[in-house]
Structure 1
Amino acid sequence: MILMALYRALMISAVQLIHPRRFGDARGWFTEVYSEPAFAKLGIDCRFVQDNHSLSVPKYTLRGLHFQTPPRGQDKLVRCVRGAIFDVAVDIRKGSPTYGQWVGAELSAENGHQLFIPIGFAHGFVTLDDNCEVTYKCSDTYAPESDGGIRWDDTAIGIDWPMPAGTIPELSAKDAVQQLLADFDSPFPYDGRPLAPLA
């Protein structure tokens, strides 16, 4: 029941923007946000074992860029269920031809889009509304000993966060002092899956 995006690359991109179909009538709508067989057809065959749900009260709250290192890496399937966010994935796979490059998409309660972010990518988002709620599925549970991050404003990555010039986002104390990409010795190998523009 899920209408998936078609991909421009010959191979399926590592990071995928997914467009679940909504079936609506006078009552509202219904959508199937996850189906193991449908996702497997896209090459997403991980097993999700944890669901997370966050609330970010102020507009321009920024969370990221986060990842867990092997052997506790996490594939993530992210969606926004209230408000809107700009969701980002950064390639941190050693040897990848797109190492340090990023892709991003707006996810909102209105559009229903989801972003699949596999192991080997740092993840972050900034909220575009007040009181945003985000849910995401993970393929491993939280492991503080494997918790890692990269600075959200690293100029070597150059993420174009959609915030007015001069805006200082709301950050956690941890995210304000994350390491730069240049100081990061990646434990993630390149697996041959390309990072392509999001469809």
Structure 2
Amino acid sequence: MIEGVQVKKFVKHCDDRGFFMEILRDDDELLSRFGQASMSKAYPGVIKAFHYHEHQDDLWFFPVGNAQVVLYDLRDDSLTKGETNVFYLGEDNPILLVIPKMVAHGYRVLGQEPAVIIYFTTLSYNREKPDEKRIPWDDPAIGFDWVTKNR
């Protein structure tokens, strides 16, 4: 796994009324600090990739729908520089994914339903000087094939 990436698996408490599940706690020690919580919705087949941050870490959670999440390590000083990781997050695999700064990340919505992402960051968004750098979804240096393989 890419150095610094963390995964938190959830514990669901189910009964005849439904379920309860904690998402993020201050004692999880997943984020160095809390900056902002945000939510976005994307439609089936949409690819939102790639971007990275120089100063903030992200923590992603997909409570609705399913997504293929791709990470690519851009850090020159990392033991995992140039490594790609793929995770499947969403209703079928509810986990939190911590994405360190300078790790490019993006996702593709899987299935026939929209996906909702809730994400937490270690810094609040700065409209005057956004900490968000873009890389095309099909960048040849990353070389990720977003097509589902029939097996």
After TM superposition, is the score higher than 0.5?
A: yes
More contact order relative to length (CA 8 Å, sep ≥ 6): 2
Task: Kindly report structure 1 stretches of 4+ aligned residues shifted beyond 6 Å.
Answer: none
Q: Which runs of 5+ in 2 are unaligned?
A: none
Once residues 80 and 45 of structure 1 are traced to their aligned partners in structure 2, the CA distance between those partners, rounded to angstroms, is 18
Once residues 83 and 139 of structure 1 are traced to their aligned partners in structure 2, the CA distance between those partners, rounded to angstroms, is 25
Give 1 or 2: higher strand fraction.
Answer: 2
Q: Which runs of 5+ in 1 are unaligned?
A: 1-8, 166-199
Change (3 A) 1:100 1:150: farther
Pick aligned residue for 2:109 from 118, 127, 133: 127
Say whether the 8 Å CA contact 1:93–1:99 is kept in structure 2.
yes
Once residues 142 and 89 of structure 2 are traced to their aligned partners in structure 1, the CA distance between those partners, rounded to angstroms, is 21
**Corresponding residue for residue 50 of structure 1:** 36
Per-residue Cα deviation, 1:72-105 (whole angstroms, up to 9, x for no partner): x221110111110011221111132322221121
Q: TM-score, normalised by structure 2?
A: 0.85
Once residues 103 and 34 of structure 2 are traced to their aligned partners in structure 1, the CA distance between those partners, rounded to angstroms, is 17
Pick aligned residue for 2:13 from 4, 16, 23: 23
Q: Which amino acid aligns with 1:48?
A: F
Say whether the 8 Å CA contact 1:88–1:123 is kept in structure 2.
yes
Pick aligned residue for 1:137 from 100, 105, 120: 120
Q: TM-score, normalised by structure 1?
A: 0.66
Give the greater-gyration-radius structure (CA).
1
Once residues 24 and 113 of structure 1 are traced to their aligned partners in structure 2, the CA distance between those partners, rounded to angstroms, is 17
Once residues 106 and 155 of structure 1 are traced to their aligned partners in structure 2, the CA distance between those partners, rounded to angstroms, is 22
Shift of 1:149: 1.6
User: Which sits farther off after the overlay, 89-98 or 151-160?
Assistant: 151-160
Shift of 1:164: 5.9
State percent identity of aligned pairs: 29
